[in-house]
Each structure stands twice: as structure tokens, then as C-alpha cells.
Structure 1
Amino acid sequence: MLKLKTQADLEALISNGERESLTLEFKAGGAIRQDSKGEIGKDVSAMANAAGGQIIYGIKENNHVAAKIAHVDINSFNHEWLENVIQNNTSPPINNFTIDIVPLNTGTNHVAYVVSIPQATATAPHQARVDNKYYRRRNFKAEPMADYEIREAMRRVTDPDLYIYISCRLERSENTSHSSYRLIISPMLVNCSHQPALYTAVTILIQSDIVPYHTKHYHSENAWKPKRFGGMSFHAMSTEMSVPNDFPVFIERARKLPEIQCDYPSHLGNDQFRVGYRVSSPGCSRAAFYQASALNFDIVAQKLLGEGVE
């Protein structure tokens, strides 16, 4: 995938005469409209069903060559709108894409969106809901998939595809030996692949000033200090699952992992904090962090910061 974070990065594509390809497509900002939801789903599903790639909403092409900046108005169509359109117009929904917002100096509220789409594997192929057809990108356009191509995409599933969804809640602590509040971390292990996970290792990462004290079924590892957070330290609580002692993790049933109870220090108040995870199984390795904040000490709001722990 190209690293496209700034307007200068986009302008370099134009000055270098970058051409569209199997994995790169340019769209003027006007391609994002209320009446283009089906077309957006079609284009994204076609990219995922082929080799994956990037669609840039904010560059106009001329004969498949990047020609000029053509903005999206973020006030009219924010990135949450685009994310929902992609998910609601593909079946099964495409979830593991990213949208980078690139600010533009061409006017107030002007941006470009860089949508990065990995090749579909576990849930391949993806259908465009606009006409219930399967598409794949060929050269410069999305074309219907032939029967053998659909069958080939379905055979891509060879490995598990594991994610962990973490929910948090705050409760008043009844144990006077701990802080007045406790944070309860509830992980849910999900396999998005039709290939079961027979052997799985999970590590829950908890910001170091939030101290785990009820960690049944977990064992503590050395603290983690990922570079992306400036060396901030994290508690690492790990557990393993394997057959025949544990049931395989399969697509039809999510696995609720044991909760972890922690002291929530009063100095954090309503400040943001971070929790994360690492999960690995033969053929699959993934890590991600969530940023959360305690609202009025009873509701925890959180958002995914993205994958990777380095």
C-alpha cells in the first residue's frame, strides 16, 4: 500500500503522472454522493475480491492518470459516513479496511479520503448489494466475476482470522483494600474465517497505572513498552486455548474470555486510557489497541486506535 498521509503525497502522484492499476484507483470528490452508495460498495468489493489496493477519493483522473486534486467536503460527507456506506453496501460486510483523511488547502472543509482495502480472504468473495453481483477489479474497472473466479476466491480460506473485541466498564469497588473504583475488562474472541482455530494464544495489554488484581485463568508476562505510545508500559496478561482440552474457535460462535478486574486509580478521573491485545494462532497473528475514557465513572467509551503494537 502507498503511504498517502498529506496533500504533498497526493500532489506527488499527480506530478509523477501516476497511473491507475489493479491496486490503485482515483476518484474525484464528486464520486461521493448520496446517490452513489451502491457504486462505492461495488468499487470497494471489486478491489477486495481482486488483489486489494487503494481508492483515493479526491484525485480526478484523465485517461487513468492522476490529473488534479478534486476535494470531498468533509462537512457533507465525513469519514464515518463513508465507512458506513462501505459496510452497508457489501455482503458480507467489508470490515478490515482503513480510511485516512488527508486535509487539503484548496478550501474550507476540503479533504481527500484514502481507502486502503486488503485482499479478501476469510470472507471472500464480497458481493455488491446494489445488484447482488460479485465483482473484481481488472486493470481500470470493476467487472463481474466468472464462476471459476468466485470458486477460487472461496478457496482462499486456509487460516483462522482472529480478532478480540474488548469492552470495559467501571464499578464501585466493595473491597476496601482496593481503590474506590474497579475497571472490568471483558474480552471477546472472534474468528472471521471458516477455518477453525485449534491452538490460540491471547495476551490482554493494560495501561500500567491500571493494576489487575483478579486475573484467574491468566498469567502475567513481562511488561510491554510499544514504541507507538512513547514507551508507555503495559501489563501483559496471557492465556492459551488448545484442543482437546478446549473447544476450537470457529466462525459461528464467538468465545467470551474470562474477565479481568483492575484497580482504577482516582488520579485518572475521566482521562483517557489504553487497553489492547495480541492474538496468535497458526496462520494468524494480530494486535491492536483501544483508547477509552471513563464518563462520569459509570460508562466507558472507546475507539479502536488501529492494528499493530510496535
Structure 2
Amino acid sequence: MLKLDTKAELELLHTGNVKEGLHLEYKASGAIDKKDDSKKLEMARDVSAFANADGGQIVYSMTEKDHEPAGLDDGVDAKVYPEIWFEQVLQQHVTPTIAGLRPRHVPLSKSMVAVVIDIPSTKGDPHQVSDGRYYRRHNFNRLIMEHYEIRDAIRRTLEPALQIEFELFKGDAAYKSVEFSQFRDESDPIALGALLSNTSNQPSMYTVVSIFIDRRVKLVSLDGFEQVGETEFSPGDRRHHLRAKIGIPGAYPVFKEMSLALGPFHFKISDRLLGQKFALGYQIKAPGCLKESHGFLEIGESGQMHLRMPPN
């Protein structure tokens, strides 16, 4: 989220022409009114829409035109509209309560403030407004959620959400390099680990993790993985297929509060392959969860290694 703690930082939104989008919306101070129940409901709709999407921020006291900031107005009186008032309004109109919601004042003058509401993305059931509807943020707009979207959002809280992060074990160094200390044409073993995590409250009792790495590397140790063979993703893209099975008894379920380290497995490369990119990806299969992601391991001419994986 944007750092919006001072009047100067709010003014930069205007001078920098930071447009509204999926994670940001501007509202004039007139959108806040203690006596107008329709405006309280509108606030609840906007806030819940961000929570039901990817989270974001609403800036009250910033005028806008065509989704572009048009400058700060005079703000609202901090004594009339304390931060807790916003929490109370939203608690009255949004179910379940949005955990981690943060309304806060940004001083504009002696007693007048802008109000910034930081809204986290929901990790549980979707949030319903007191008008009986569910909303979500889409680009610049607030949309009523379709039945299938509500169903899928609720289902995600009942199913595991697994992902992998690869690890090159570079320690405190800024990068990791391939070393050729023993044989001039073949590298020392390179360690690659995988951290399996679950972002859902629903544990995964049985999980199958597949790692796919470029067949040009030479596997030397697997450490908990089994080598299934090779998989062809496209012409010219064949990869080693490594697999790990996690289940009870014998292993803990994969749950939100504890990630599971897999491997590391080790491989070598020929010195002729310096300056190359090596395809790397994973697939996770578990009841209620299928996740797949692909990127590559980049090894520079000097041996520096960098993981280039899309964000989870």
C-alpha cells in the first residue's frame, strides 16, 4: 500500500497524477456525513469491495475527475469524525468484520483532516454489506459479486491454497554464484530448495509436489524427491520431473502457521552452459487445490544465479 501519512504525501498523489485503480480510490469530504445513512452505506460498499478483491486504500478529502486526483479539499473536522467513528460505521454495515482495517487521520490544518482507510484483502469468508449484497473492486469500479464469485470465495476458505518459493541458499550475499573448484568443465553441486506454504486456514492432509527443471542440468542428489522421468512442455523444452509426496501418517499436514521445507536437491551444470536460462517450475496437487507456476533460473556468464519466477 502507498505510504500516505502526511499532507505532503497526499499532495504528491495530485502533482504526480496517481490515478485511481484496483487498489486506490479518491473521495471528496462530502462523501462523509454522520446524518446521512445512505453515505454510511456507500462507505461500507466501497470498503467491502476492496476487501473482497485485493485490498487497497480509500482517500477521503481528495477530489477527482475522470479517475485522476484533482486536489485536496478542506477535509473533515477530526473531533466530529474521530477514527473510531469509521470503524463503528463499518462494523455496523459489514459482516464479517474486516480484520486489519485501519482508518486514520492525516492532518491538513489546525483541526481539519483527510481520512485514509487502509483495507486488507480478506483471507476468510467474503464480506456482506447490510443491504444484503456482496461487492468487489474491479479496475476503477465497484461491482456486485455474482453468485459463482461468492461461492468460489467461500470455497477458498474451505480448501488449502498452496504455493512454492524456491531457495538458492545464498545466505547474506546479494547473489549466489556457480563454482568450479574441482573440475574445470563441470560445476560443484548447486543446491535448490523449495518452501511449501499454505495461505488458507484449511490444512492440506495429502499433497503431491512436482518440480520441473531443465533436462540440461545433471542431477546429483534428490533429498526426499523421487525422479519420475522427463516431461516435455513444448518442443525444445524437456525437463526433469521430481516429485515429493506429503501425507499422514508420516508427515504433518501442510497448514498456514508452518511452512514445509523440501529438499534441497542438488545438480551440476557444464561450463558451456554459463550465460543460459534454465526452465524451472512446479505443480502442486492436493484435494481442493491445483497450483502450477513456471519461470526459469538464470545463470550469467560469470556464474551469478538469479531465480526468475512469477509472483505467487
TM-score normalised according to structure 2 size: 0.52
- Give the distance between the partners of 1:44 and 1:289, measured in 2 at CA: 34
SS at 1:209's partner residue?
Answer: coil
- Give the distance between the partners of 1:45 and 1:178, measured in 2 at CA: 59
How much does 1:144 deviate? 9.9
How much does 1:276 deviate? 0.9
Structure 1 stretches of 5 or more lacking a match? 1-29, 53-69, 71-88, 93-119, 127-133
Partner of 2:233: 226
RMSD across aligned positions (CA) = 4.4
1:300 equivalent to 2:299? Answer no
TM-score normalised according to structure 1 size: 0.53
- Give the distance between the partners of 1:45 and 1:209, measured in 2 at CA: 49
The 3 A distance-change label for structure 1 pair 225 and 243 is same
**Paired-residue identity, %:** 25
SS at 1:187's partner residue?
Answer: strand
Report if the CA contact (8 A) 1:135-1:142 is conserved. no
How much does 1:301 deviate? 1.9
Alignment of 1:55-66 (within 5 A): none
The 3 A distance-change label for structure 1 pair 282 and 194 is same
1:91 equivalent to 2:120? Answer yes
- Give the distance between the partners of 1:180 and 1:123, measured in 2 at CA: 47
Partner of 1:212: 219
Alignment of 1:149-168 (within 5 A): 156-168=156-168
How much does 1:261 deviate? 0.5
Partner of 1:49: 52
Partner of 2:252: 247
Report if the CA contact (8 A) 2:295-2:310 is conserved. yes
Partner of 2:201: 194
1:260 equivalent to 2:259? Answer no
How much does 1:236 deviate? 0.6
How much does 1:34 deviate? 2.2
How much does 1:248 deviate? 0.9
Q: AA paired with 2:306?
A: A
Bigger Rg, structure 1 or 2: 2
The 3 A distance-change label for structure 1 pair 159 and 272 is same
Partner of 2:18: 34
Report if the CA contact (8 A) 2:156-2:200 is conserved. no
Report if the CA contact (8 A) 1:159-1:193 is conserved. yes
Report if the CA contact (8 A) 2:160-2:198 is conserved. yes
